[in-house]
Amino acid sequence: MKKIAIIGAGTMGNGIAHVFAQKGYKVNLVDISQEALDKGVATISNNLDRMLAKDKISESDKINTLNGILTYTELVKGIENVDLIIEAATENVDLKLRIFKELDVHCGDQTILATNTSSISITLIASATQRPEKVIGMHFMNPVPIMPLVEIIRGYNTSNATTDQIKKLAKDLDKVPTVVNDYPGFVANRILMPMINEAIETLYHGVAGVTEIDTVMKLGMAHPMGPLQLADFIGLDVCLSILNVLYEGFKNPKYAPCPLLINMVTAGKLGVKSGEGFYDYATSKKAEKVANQFAV
């Protein structure tokens, strides 16, 4: 398994492309937008420059990593003769089903299809294909070059052979593969998102302010980042999407998203990506501080 295609050049997609290319894999980075591809490659280059400045890699390492990444705006060309495809598109069920249906038609019979979804059912995604035994969840954490965990999610029909291959692959990337079963939110977000939602509820009901809530969790529970700041970093739209998946999947009111979160997303206050969320990133150094906290 030496040739990988990544679908989506956003934050997660370019991070996944980075770690594969740095380990010597040939990577096809695919996106419908050339602008997104250019931005993704620029992000990888900037992260490599940070690593170079810290003497973590050499100049030749940087050059070889970037040379290992080819970009495509045409899906069929981008997935030609690859061993593994990792979908890292927007967290939208209908979009992912359309992508996997098309991947199944155009890629080789032996190609494994993985998704970086953070909450959507692997079994459901696999149902759009004729190879459910070769469909698996490969949930990387952000920022991908730094975070060691890969949450590997088995769908109902995912084979042992596929699971073993993906576990080995994750280890080859110097990641820690952790296999979980296919239930809404899996493990990471089934635990994390209710905590973030409860922090938003605490703010919504006036128990404490943003800074106070985050300070309690950072200093009292030894979290490196408070839940509201973390929500901004993840993206409030992404948090809302995951909570909706949890709520629809379990029909349990404890997963219902806080009205404040819904209103903020509706108003376009999405966190770092939009310049404002629970914190104001447009008029402060906080966005830079957050980025540097997780710099490669």
pLDDT at 194: 98
Given a cut of 80, whether residue 226 has pLDDT beyond it is yes
Place of tokens 């909570």: 243
Task: Give CA separation, 26 vs 230, 269, 281, in Å.
Answer: 32, 37, 36
Compare 268 and 287 and report the one with higher pLDDT: 268
Given a cut of 90, whether residue 296 has pLDDT beyond it is no
Is 80 a residue of the active site?
Answer: no
Q: Where in the chain is the domain with CATH 3.40.50.720?
A: 3-181
For the domain made up of 189-290, the CATH class stated in words is mainly alpha
Q: Annotation-wise, does 118 bind a ligand?
A: yes
For 55-90, give the DSSP string: TSS-HHHHHHHHHTEEEESSHHHHTTT-SEEEE---
pLDDT at 286: 54
Q: Annotation-wise, does 10 bind a ligand?
A: yes
Catalytic, out of 189, 197, 241, 274: 189
- State residue 72 phi and psi, 5-degree precision: -140, 140
pLDDT at 1: 84
In whole angstroms, give the CA distance from residue 86 to residue 205: 40
What whole-number percentage of the chain has pLDDT above 70? Answer: 95
Catalytic, out of 47, 116, 139, 276: 139
Q: Annotation-wise, does 215 bind a ligand?
A: no
pLDDT at 284: 54
Write out the two tokens for 255.
């997963």
> Using one digit for the tens of pLDDT, what is the confidence trace for 95-140?
999 999 999 999 999 999 999 999 999 999 999 999 999 999 999 9
The topology (CATH level 3) of 3-181 is: Rossmann fold (3.40.50)
Q: Annotation-wise, does 147 bind a ligand?
A: no
Catalytic, out of 47, 116, 151, 241: 151
> Using one digit for the tens of pLDDT, what is the confidence trace for 267-286?
999 999 999 999 999 865 55
In whole angstroms, give the CA distance from residue 73 to residue 71: 7
Is 118 a residue of the active site?
Answer: yes
Given a cut of 70, whether residue 191 has pLDDT beyond it is yes
**Rounded mean pLDDT, 2-25:** 97
SS3 257: coil
Compare 59 and 290 and report the one with higher pLDDT: 59
In whole angstroms, give the CA distance from residue 248 to residue 84: 30
pLDDT at 290: 53
pLDDT at 282: 83
> Using one digit for the tens of pLDDT, what is the confidence trace for 46-87?
999 999 999 999 999 999 999 999 999 999 999 999 999 999
Is 139 a residue of the active site?
Answer: yes
This prediction has a pTM of 0.90
